[in-house]
Structure 1
Amino acid sequence: MDHPAQTDGTDIRVLIVDDQSMIRGGFEALLNAQEGIEVVGTASDGKGIVDVVRELGPDVVLMDIRMPHVGGLEATRLVLEMPGSPPKIIMLTTFDADEYVFAALRAGASGFLLKDSTPQELVHAVRVVAGGESLLAPRVTRALIADFVARPERAAEADASLEVLTERELDVLRLVARGLANREIAAELVMAEQTVKTHVSRVLGKLLLRDRTQLVVAAYESGLVRPGE
C-alpha cells in the first residue's frame, strides 16, 4: 500500500489498486478534485488486499485486472468474500476484449472501465457504483458478456437455472439484461418503478446473486437472452 488518507466520513471513499504509478497518481488527483469523493489509499497490487480494505474501509475499489503477484481477479474474489458489506469493485483494463473482465463480472465486480476513459466517465463510474448500481451502460460491457457467453467452450458452464422465476420476473430480467434502468423497465412493462425494484430484488434473492451485473451474466448464460438481441 502506498499511503492512506483521512476523510470526514461523508465522501465516497475510493481505493485505487494498479501496478502503474502514473495511473494511480492520475486517478487519485482527478478523483480528489471532485466534490464528495476522497481517495483513501492506493496499492500497487492485490497483495494483502483484505487487510488494506479492512483498514481503510473504501466504498469503491478501482482494481486493475493484470498485476504482478496477486492479480485483480484473485484480489476481487478475496474482497467480495469478506464478511459484512464489502466495497463495490470497478475493474480497470487497457483493452475491451480482456477475457479476465468476464470472469471478474461473474465473481461479482460491479462493472469495468477502460483506462483511457475520459475523466467524466471515471467520475461517473465511481458515483454510479457507489450508489448501488452496476456499470452496465457502456455498450462494450454488454458486447463483452455476449461474446464470452456465446463461445462454444462456455456451453458446459452455463449453470444458471431460472426455473424459480415467475413470468413477470423473467420479463424484468430480460430487460435488465438489455441494460435498461428501472425507470425504463417500468415504462416498457407499464408498471410502477417501485414494483420493478421489488421484482429485481426478488430475482436477486431467488438466484442468490449480488447485483445487476450478475443478473445480466445469468440471463445470457441461461439462454434467456441471446447475443445480438
Structure 2
Amino acid sequence: MIDPQDDQLNPVAAAASEISVVIVDDHSIFRTGLRAELAPSLRVLGEAANVDEAIAVVTSTQPRVVLLDVHLPGGRGGGGAEVIQRAAAACPGTLFLALSVSDAADDVVRVIRAGARGYITKSSSGGEVSEAVNRVSEGDAVFSPRLAGFVLDAFGAVAGETAQTTDELDRLSAREQEVMRLIARGYSYKEAAAELFISVKTVETHVSAVLRKLQFSSRHELTAWALDRKLL
C-alpha cells in the first residue's frame, strides 16, 4: 500500500521538508564543490562572493540558512559579521552558519556576537555541513568541537562587557546615539542629516561630541567599536 505521506511520492510534502540555503564565499571553486556535496534536502537558492552581493541575495531570497564565510571582500570591511548585521533585520526567518577555513578565536567570537547560530570549519565533510544546517534550522547552535571552548570563554565575560557598553552609551545623549549609529554604519554626514531631518552642521557637531566622549580619533575607530558591541 502506498503511503501518501511518503515524501518521495508526495511532491508537496517533499518541498515542505526542504531547507533553503544560500552559500556565501569568495572562492567560486569552493562554492561549486560545497553545493555538489550538500544533501538533496538542502535547496540552494543562490550564491554570493562578497558582502554586498551576499546582502542582496539573502534579502531577496530569504533562505532558512546562510552558509557564510567569515572573511569576505566588499561592503564596509566587516566581512561575514557585516553581512549578518546588515541583513538580519530584513530577514527575520533567516539563520546564519559560519563556515570558514579560519579557526582563530577572534573570528569565531566576532561572527557569533554578530548573530551567527554556529561556526564550523571548511575541513568538515559535505555530510557534516548538511547535518549542521539541519540542526541550525531546527534551532540548535552548532560548533566544530575545538571551537566550542572559544565561545564559552568569550561569553563568560558578556555580562561585564554589557555593563561597560551601557556605561559608555550613557555618556551620549539620545540624539548623539542616533548619529553615532548612522555614522558607524557608513552614512555620510549629508546622508545622516537627511535621515534625521537635521542640518549637516548639526551632524558634524554631534559626531565631534561622540568622538570626544568615547575618546576616539576617527569614525573608523567608532565603527570598529560599534561592530564589536553589536550596536549596528
TM-score tier by shorter-chain length is 0.5 to 0.7
- The answer on 1:56 being equivalent to 2:64 is no
- The answer on 1:102 being equivalent to 2:109 is yes
* Secondary structure at the counterpart of residue 43 of structure 2: strand
- Residue 9 of structure 1 deviates from its aligned partner by 5.6
| Higher share of residues assigned helix | 2
- The answer on 1:38 being equivalent to 2:43 is yes
Code of the aligned partner of 2:126: P
Cα gap change, 1:155 to 1:63, in 2 (>3 Å):
closer
1:75-224 → structure 2 map (5 Å cutoff): 75-82=83-90, 85-136=92-143, 138-148=144-154, 158-159=161-162
* Secondary structure at the counterpart of residue 127 of structure 1: helix
What are the ranges of 5 or more consecutive residues in structure 1 without an aligned counterpart? 1-6, 162-229
> RCO (CA 8 Å, sep 6+): is it higher in 1 or 2?
1
- Residue 114 of structure 1 deviates from its aligned partner by 0.3
Runs of 4+ displaced beyond 6 Å: none
What are the ranges of 5 or more consecutive residues in structure 2 without an aligned counterpart? 1-13, 165-232
* Secondary structure at the counterpart of residue 23 of structure 2: strand
- Residue 120 of structure 1 deviates from its aligned partner by 2.1
Normalising to structure 1: TM-score of the pair?
0.57
Code of the aligned partner of 1:37: L
* Secondary structure at the counterpart of residue 101 of structure 1: helix
Cα gap change, 1:29 to 1:155, in 2 (>3 Å):
closer
- Residue 8 of structure 1 deviates from its aligned partner by 4.7
When structure 1 is superposed on structure 2, of 66-75 and 12-21 the one drifting more is 66-75
* Secondary structure at the counterpart of residue 159 of structure 1: helix
Give the structure with higher Rg (CA): 2
Cα gap change, 1:159 to 1:37, in 2 (>3 Å):
same
- Superposed CA deviations along residues 101-137 of structure 1, whole A, max 9, x for unmatched, are 201111211001101112221111111011121114x
Paired with 2:158 and 2:56, the residues of 1 have a C-alpha distance of 37
Cα gap change, 1:160 to 1:129, in 2 (>3 Å):
farther
* Secondary structure at the counterpart of residue 96 of structure 1: coil
